[in-house]
Amino acid sequence: MKLKEFLQTKKILNKHTDTTFTIAKAVKDEHTPFYHNEFYQTPIRSISEWLNWKEEYIVINPDACPIDITGMWQKWYMKGRLLNAVITTEKDLFTHYSESQAKDMIKWYDDLVKNWLEEEK
């Protein structure tokens, strides 16, 4: 599911204001022919600010604890005050995995997000 579509769901709009994302990026290993994921944490912003963000991101985990060395964001997340989802691009999935595997993963992630949204109503 595209990030914008995810953020525009009534469940997200009615429940959360403070939002952050963990971005999974496919990165080439220095000494092997393989790729690995690196994760980056975005700043906390309101959903309205994120709605104008890049279109290419898809949600791969709708509910994950943020990367946080201070522990403050984790506390907010655990209390339900902060939404954090893991996002990536289809390009990163096709870079990291074979074409058929990436297509299967995109479908699986889409189903996962839709099911999570249904369960949380």
Residue 121 included in any domain: no
Is 120 inside any structural domain? no
Position 97 in a domain: yes
pLDDT at 12 (0 to 100)? 81
Q: How many domains does the chain contain in total? A: 1
- Kindly state whether residue 104 falls inside one of the protein's structural domains: yes
Helices (H), the chain: 3-7, 10-15, 47-50, 72-78, 90-96, 99-119
The answer to the question of residue 39 being in a domain is yes
The boundaries of the domain holding residue 17 are 3-115
> pLDDT at position 121, please?
59
Return the pLDDT at 120: 66
Per-residue pLDDT in tens (0 to 9) along the chain, 121 residues: 999 999 989 888 788 779 999 999 999 999 999 999 999 999 999 988 888 887 799 999 999 999 998 889 999 999 989 999 999 999 999 999 999 999 999 999 999 999 999 986 5
9-33 exposure pattern, b = at least 16 Cβ within 10 A, e = fewer? beebeeebeebbbbbbebeeeeeee
How far apart CA 117 and CA 15 sit, in angstroms, is 12
How long, in residues, is the chain? 121
